[in-house]
Amino acid sequence: MRCVDIFRHTAAVRSTGAVKAATATCLAALTACTAPPPPAPLPGATSVAGPASAPVPAPEPTPPVAVAAEQRRARNWAEYRQRAAQRLVSQNPKGAHIGPVQQPALAIPVLEIELNGDGSVRKVSVLRQPSQARDTVRLAIDAVHRAAPFGEVSHLPRPWRYTEVFLFDDTRRFKPRTLDE
């Protein structure tokens, strides 16, 4: 499908009422998840600290969708690997991409990542060293350490390790192969 075809398809989908209804439902659900505003002070009431105290800024709220995703535990290793791959990409924005993989890839290092129960990295082993662009192995290992911790694994069966294949393009940006599964 060429880019032009994608835009035609997108325009046709946008005109349907189903998309508008789905968008309205999502917005309503997100609006319902927000916290209510703090109660207004009673007239004539003074604060405990007195009138000279400066107002304390409220902390910025965390989006409820992001909190819910982080709090759920992975049900199995396949789900855990998927979340870890997404975290690798999100924590390495300059070194990762999620688009189509360049053919042929510049290098394909394969790492085994061993974890502690809390999801921190215990050990990273190189299972496949590419014959060219050997520096991509170090880039992949550094990306794993930047993205850690990946989330608790103590509820999953041992051994707490998984394998990730890194697909590097000519600009030395990677895509975890797990995202293509």
Q: What's the pLDDT score for residue 50?
A: 46
The pLDDT of residue 75 is above 70: yes
For the chain, the average pLDDT equals 75
| Residue scoring higher pLDDT (18 or 162) | 162
- Region 72-181: CATH code: 3.30.1150
The mean pLDDT value for 121-146 works out to: 95
Closest CA relative to residue 127, chosen from 65, 78, 177: 177
Closest CA relative to residue 151, chosen from 91, 106, 110: 91
Q: What's the pLDDT score for residue 124?
A: 97
Band the pLDDT of 83: cuts 50, 70, 90.
Answer: very high
Band the pLDDT of 168: cuts 50, 70, 90.
Answer: very high
3-state class (DSSP) for residue 108: coil
Q: What's the pLDDT score for residue 6?
A: 42
How confident is the model over 2-38, as pLDDT tens digits? 344 444 444 444 444 544 544 444 444 444 444 555 5
Which residues lie below 8 Å from residue 150, measured CB to CB, with a gap of 6+? 80, 83, 84, 87, 115, 119, 121
The answer to whether 169 and 105 have CB atoms below 8 angstroms apart is yes
- Indicate the pTM of the whole model: 0.60
The pLDDT of residue 116 is above 90: yes
| Residue scoring higher pLDDT (39 or 27) | 39
Annotated domain spans of the chain: 1-33, 72-181
| Residue scoring higher pLDDT (135 or 42) | 135
Give 107's strand partners: 168
